[in-house]
Amino acid sequence: MQTETQIPKIFEDVQDFLPINGTDYIELYVGNAKQAAHYYQSAWGFQPLAYKGLETGSRDRVSYALRQGKITLVLTSPLQAGGPINEHINKHGDGVKVIALWVDDATYSWQATTQRGAESALEPQKLTDEHGEVIISGIKTYGETLHYFIERKNYHGAFLPGFKSWAPNYRPAEVGLQYVDHIVGNVGWGEMNKWVDFYAKVMGFTQLVSFDDKDISTEYTALMSKVMTNGNGRIKFPINEPAVGRKKSQIEEYIEFYNGAGVQHIAVATNNIIHTVSELKKRGVDFLYVPPTYYDTVLDRVGEIDEDLEELKQLGVLIDRDDEGYLLQLFTKPVLDRPTMFFEIIQRKGAQSFGKGNFKALFEAIEREQALRGTL
């Protein structure tokens, strides 16, 4: 495995006291992990990795770990009444509980962040089994979301101690997802800068870009966003807050249904968005509708692209360009019953930005969905 020392630092002004190698896993608390695992296998092509539950001696919870490329999802459900997982699901519905970060030293990561003001969620502890040991620690971030630090350099098992390898015969093919590009948090009114400061001061991140309500607004709704990144650029966390508009923004809708701040979307990268999105659509994943008129003028804005525009139009893939290149992106509808979390599929062709040129078309598409839900 590559270590932090080999990964170039690309943002020079980052304090970088907290080396992070990448996203280790994302854990969702869900009402029915078995069925959610089937969905992520069947519709998204995630491959079975590891399991813990009654059969492995876990009496209070069941977890399924699935992987595609470098993306690991963990789906966890409670096995008993009461307790923190049930409370979480009762309040938030299904949603992201843990964004786990892969580090070389989980004890130091916990010390460095708690010394700088992070609230501890989990003191460093050693988990062991016959495959070695993992050091795990954790801190709290926005809402009831946590960051865990995972040190796995002395571990050779499938996932984490406590899990057993999970190898069913049912294995729908992958759809070409490669890695987590960014994970976006929605926070409440006036809270964006508090969490931007948290990532800067407590975790040593720097601000990559900022969008105000003039950048991200339509006739009806608005939001503000700042993108925080760690030193090597492997971890990018945009933070959104609502802004005043004539109608209720998607961020307010989220906060209302999630009952607070939480993860809004997970952007996953592919190197062939046409293949990935075609496959996802075939398997029943619903994407936001992009009006065909978007494609009438898009090339005037973004210039020449390698892909066939007609194919992108068929799939509703959005295009944007910055100084470094262009990107292709597309957003699913919420993947849960509450209008909360969704996924973004992104293919970067040089561009390191986030699709600012698409914000208006995108938010108008979201407003159409909100109107159907009666939450605009």
Residues within the interface to Fe ion (CB under 5 A): 267, 344
Q: Nearest distance from residue 354's CB to Fe ion, in Å?
A: 6
**Which pair of tokens denotes residue 182?**
């960014």
Q: Nearest distance from residue 355's CB to Fe ion, in Å?
A: 7
Q: Nearest distance from residue 344's CB to Fe ion, in Å?
A: 4
147 annotated as belonging to a binding site for a ligand: no
Residue among 267 and 345 whose Cβ is closer to Fe ion: 267
Q: Nearest distance from residue 22's CB to Fe ion, in Å?
A: 18
* Cβ count near 339 (within 10 Å): 20
Residue among 51 and 258 whose Cβ is closer to Fe ion: 258
Of the candidates 262, 254, 256, the one whose C-alpha atom is nearest the C-alpha of residue 184 is 262
DSSP letter at 189?
T
Residue among 106 and 327 whose Cβ is closer to Fe ion: 327
Full strand arrangement of the beta sheet holding 47-52: 120-129, 132-140, 146-151, 95-103, 22-29, 71-78, 61-68, 47-52, 164-165
What angle do the packed helices 250-258 and 359-373 form, to 10 degrees? 50
- Residue corresponding to tokens 């009496």: 59
Q: Nearest distance from residue 62's CB to Fe ion, in Å?
A: 30
Tell me how far apart the terminal alpha carbons of the chain are, to the nearest angstrom: 47
Q: Nearest distance from residue 358's CB to Fe ion, in Å?
A: 10
Q: Nearest distance from residue 331's CB to Fe ion, in Å?
A: 8
Residue among 279 and 344 whose Cβ is closer to Fe ion: 344
Residue among 19 and 238 whose Cβ is closer to Fe ion: 238
* Cβ count near 276 (within 10 Å): 26
* Cβ count near 198 (within 10 Å): 21
Residue among 30 and 267 whose Cβ is closer to Fe ion: 267
- Burial degree of 284 (CB within 10 A; 0-12, 13-18, 19+): exposed
Q: Nearest distance from residue 318's CB to Fe ion, in Å?
A: 11
* Cβ count near 307 (within 10 Å): 16
Listed in sequence order, the residues at least 6 apart from 96 whose beta carbon sits closer than 8 Å to its beta carbon are 26, 27, 28, 145, 183, 262, 263, 266, 341
Helix, strand, coil percent values for the chain (each to nearest 5): 25, 35, 40
Residue among 344 and 369 whose Cβ is closer to Fe ion: 344
Residue among 72 and 358 whose Cβ is closer to Fe ion: 358
Longest CA pairwise span in the chain (Å): 60
Q: Which residues does the annotation place in the binding site?
A: 182, 265, 344
Q: Which residues does the annotation place in the binding site for Fe cation?
A: 182, 265, 344
